[in-house]
Amino acid sequence: MTDRLNGKRIMITGAAQGIGLAIAQACANEGASLFLIDLDAGLLETEAKALQAGGAAIGYTVASITDITAISAAVERAATEIGPINAMINNAGVNVFHEPLETSDEEWQRCFDINLKGAWNCTKAVLPGIIAQGGGAILNIASTHAFTIIPKTFPYPLAKHALLGMTRSLGLEYAGKGVRVNALAPGYVSTQKVIDYWNSFPDPEAARAETMKLHPGGRIATPEEIALAAVFMISDECPFMNATCLKIDGGLSVQQHP
Ligand SMILES: NC(=O)c1ccc[n+]([C@@H]2O[C@H](COP(=O)([O-])OP(=O)(O)OC[C@H]3O[C@@H](n4cnc5c(N)ncnc54)[C@H](O)[C@@H]3O)[C@@H](O)[C@H]2O)c1
């Protein structure tokens, strides 16, 4: 355990597995206190208890980021359990992948409710407290889908483009109050979400191999590799980094097709 995040009291959403869990583990290792939110009660409790057993100050609650009342209550509970939140990592998100004309209104709404409005709900709930403390950091987990489009993944990339817009907008609005708002854009990361994506193809193994082949290094990222960047961006090691986005995709998105 080191102390790069000593004094940070970070709320992390979607923290029970995948990238959110790896970020929580890395932040705890760097001395942060954490308040974890997820919909999956069983996984959340198991992982939060494991982190507590490792010596970290951890609070947690089961809530949906779409439920602003529950999120506001979580922020209050966090203040009691670990102290007032001074950093927020908006990580929870879901794949909503369709052919555009086959996208139902319900799927469109679900996509934007979770991937965009959910991040705003959490940000809105923590921002007044962060400003009152003289500043802090917000990190939105976007995606390379915030820059480019994979056909038939509609409307997920639209929500990630908008999340990047929100990052820029809030970064400008609150810079004068000491708040940094940034985004991190992973490419493919080995989580359940990506396994589910491969499983949506008739030949999942061929889909997996095709993804690996697209990457200059022949592999995709681990959640831990994304967490390394998240720790840096939420720490005080980049005080002038604001309203920007860091891509971590192993070079995938700069490769031109031959
Ligand atoms: N895995 C990738 O390749 C990849 C790439 C780029 C960006 N991302 C983004 O990273 C983030 C995490 O992705 P992941 O792959 O770790 O996903 P994951 O599916 O492995 O984990 C997501 C977690 O979020 C929780 N969650 C979902 N909806 C929620 C809600 N409404 N309220 C609270 N919690 C909720 C789930 O229960 C789950 O534990 C997402 O925003 C995703 O869009 C992932």
Q: Is residue 257 scored above 80 in pLDDT?
A: no
Q: What is the pLDDT of residue 145?
A: 97
Q: Is residue 50 scored above 90 in pLDDT?
A: yes
Total of domains in the chain: 1
Confirm whether 3 is domain-assigned.
no
Mean pLDDT over each residue of the chain, to the nearest integer: 97
156 is catalytic: yes
Q: Is residue 15 scored above 80 in pLDDT?
A: yes
The single residue of 156, 174, 188, 197 carrying the catalytic annotation is 156
Angle between helix 156-174 and helix 118-132 axes, rounded to 10 deg: 10
Q: What is the pLDDT of residue 113?
A: 98
pLDDT in tens, 190-205: 999 899 999 999 999 9
Q: Is the CB of 93 under 6 A from ligand 1?
A: yes
| Among 221, 95, 105, CA closest to 160 | 95
Q: Is the CB of 65 under 6 A from ligand 1?
A: yes
Q: With contact defined as beta carbons under 8 Å apart, do 77 and 36 qualify?
A: no
User: Which 3 state secondary structure label does DSSP give 249?
Assistant: coil
**CATH at residue 112:** 3.40.50.720
Q: Is residue 1 scored above 90 in pLDDT?
A: no
Percent of the chain with pLDDT over 90: 97
Q: What is the pLDDT of residue 246?
A: 98
Q: With contact defined as beta carbons under 8 Å apart, do 210 and 163 qualify?
A: no
Residue 214: pLDDT band with limits 50, 70, 90: very high
Q: Which residues form the domain of 231? A: 9-248
Confirm whether 257 is domain-assigned.
no
Confirm whether 32 is domain-assigned.
yes
Q: What is the pLDDT of residue 122?
A: 99
Confirm whether 255 is domain-assigned.
no
| Among 165, 162, 160, 154, CA closest to 187 | 160
* Number of helices (H), then strands (E), in the chain: 9, 9
Confirm whether 22 is domain-assigned.
yes
- The atom number, within ligand 1, closest to the CA of 189 reads 3
The tokens describing 210, both together, are: 């095709």
In sequence order, what DSSP letters do the residues of 25-61 get, joined into one string? HHHHHTT-EEEEEES-HHHHHHHHHHHHHTT--EEEE
Tell me what the mean pLDDT of segment 3-27 comes to.
98
Residue whose structure tokens are 């809530």:
63
| Among 245, 4, 6, 10, CA closest to 126 | 10
Q: What is the pLDDT of residue 256?
A: 86
Residue 109: pLDDT band with limits 50, 70, 90: very high
Q: Is the CB of 16 under 6 A from ligand 1?
A: yes
Q: How far apart are CA 219 and CA 217, in angstroms?
A: 6
Q: How far apart are CA 183 and CA 160, in angstroms?
A: 10
Q: With contact defined as beta carbons under 8 Å apart, do 28 and 58 qualify?
A: yes
Confirm whether 254 is domain-assigned.
no
Q: What is the pLDDT of residue 100?
A: 98
Q: With contact defined as beta carbons under 8 Å apart, do 27 and 91 qualify?
A: no
| Among 167, 31, 155, 162, CA closest to 99 | 155
The residue whose C-alpha atom lies closest to atom 25 belonging to ligand 1 is 14
Q: Is residue 181 scored above 80 in pLDDT?
A: yes
pLDDT in tens, 126-141: 999 999 999 999 999 9
- Ligand 1 mutation pick, 60, 62, 139, 191, max ligand atoms within 8 A of CB: 191
